[in-house]
């Protein structure tokens, strides 16, 4: 996918337009939660010391729930199926969630480099980067984890030091509050409400610095359904999207690439209503979005029945990057 745009241009036209499509490259970025993706040898060891469902291990413990140990041990055929979908996605950069680390990711992404958060738990955020794409792994976005009670953010700098530098953030926010307002009294919504201002500060920092940036991953919330003001009468966060997309400072306007797109479940046996995995672009990066390039990869019905894939599937978008 990391390739020159194929266009038929005359020499005169190419010279007349230094930022013409022939001078650009297409970069596909995507997000994919791979549901407890763990290398087989590590999965077997973790299964021996699994914890009962509903018991929360310490934030720095490597463990998996016993129901995961019983239901999600993947075979070589399962990994091969996931690899096929990764090839179909054909993304240059994939923001990953629920991946143990490099050993697991390499089972799905063969010709890639990797950056992962350094949290000791099994479910980590990170990136798979196609070899040849200039990049640098950033520091963990630890504040998003609320002292490692939930997942950290992973930061990737693409084209570091160049005028076209991008900063990407892979996130996996608290589950359990997909369509409720942030001021809902449920504990999961309260935890998510703690994370949202932290995420907004990161967005504002990027915008204030004049950077091109994107947030990709499992927001565990339907951003497209949010309505109403950002805060309630008590000044507490209520509307996730309005809270982060407030346009302040300049450049903090956001674009959700799924806006206006038809929702598609990952597999025939799913019955969800809306996206909770998102690719959100900052205003400057949104200028480079290729029109009508939204990507959603879904699973074949037979694969969904026979293979242990993931309960999420990829979403992505193409960017036109100047040389």
In angstroms, the CA 41 to CA 153 distance is: 26
> What integer pLDDT is reported at residue 11 of this predicted model?
33
User: pTM of the full predicted structure?
Assistant: 0.92
Answer positive or negative: Cα dihedral of 148, 167, 219, 179.
positive
> What integer pLDDT is reported at residue 7 of this predicted model?
38
> What integer pLDDT is reported at residue 9 of this predicted model?
33
Domains, the chain, ordered by start: 24-322 (3.60.10.10)
Per-residue pLDDT of the chain (323 residues; tens, 9 = 90+): 554 443 333 333 333 334 444 568 999 999 999 999 999 999 999 999 999 987 877 666 899 999 999 999 999 999 999 999 999 999 999 999 999 999 999 999 999 999 999 988 899 999 999 999 999 999 999 999 999 999 999 999 999 999 999 999 999 999 999 999 999 999 999 999 999 999 999 999 999 999 999 999 999 999 999 888 899 989 899 999 999 999 899 889 999 999 999 999 999 999 999 999 999 999 999 999 999 999 999 999 999 999 999 999 999 999 999 98
């Amino acid at each position: 996918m990391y390739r020159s745009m194929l266009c038929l241009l005359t020499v005169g036209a190419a010279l007349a337009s230094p930022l013409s499509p022939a001078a650009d490259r297409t970069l596909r970025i995507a997000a994919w939660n791979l549901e407890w993706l763990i290398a087989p040898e590590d999965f077997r060891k973790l299964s021996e010391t699994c914890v009962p469902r509903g018991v929360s291990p310490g934030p720095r413990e490597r463990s998996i729930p016993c129901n995961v140990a019983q239901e999600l041990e993947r075979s070589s055929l399962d990994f091969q199926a996931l690899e096929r979908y990764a090839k179909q996605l054909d993304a240059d950069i994939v923001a990953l969630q629920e991946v143990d680390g490099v050993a697991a990711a390499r089972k799905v992404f063969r010709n890639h480099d990797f950056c992962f958060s350094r949290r000791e738990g099994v479910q980590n955020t990170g990136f798979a980067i196609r070899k040849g794409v200039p990049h640098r792994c950033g520091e963990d976005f630890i504040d998003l984890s609320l002292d490692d009670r939930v997942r950290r953010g992973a930061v990737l700098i693409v084209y570091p030091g160049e005028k076209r530098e991008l900063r990407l953030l892979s996130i996996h926010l608290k589950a359990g509050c997909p369509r409720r307002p942030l001021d809902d009294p449920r504990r999961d919504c309260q935890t998510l409400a703690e994370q949202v201002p932290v995420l907004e500060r990161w967005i504002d920092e990027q915008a204030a610095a004049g950077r091109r940036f994107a947030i990709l991953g499992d927001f565990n919330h339907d951003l497209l359904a949010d309505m109403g003001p950002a805060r309630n009468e008590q000044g507490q966060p209520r509307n996730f999207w309005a809270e982060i997309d407030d346009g302040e400072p300049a450049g903090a306007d956001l674009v959700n690439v799924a806006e206006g797109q038809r929702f598609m479940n990952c597999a025939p046996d799913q019955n969800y209503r809306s996206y909770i995995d998102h690719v959100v672009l900052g205003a400057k990066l949104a200028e480079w979005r290729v029109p009508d390039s939204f990507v959603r990869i879904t699973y074949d019905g037979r694969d969904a029945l026979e293979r242990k894939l993931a309960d999420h599937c990829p979403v992505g978008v193409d960017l036109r990057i100047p040389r």
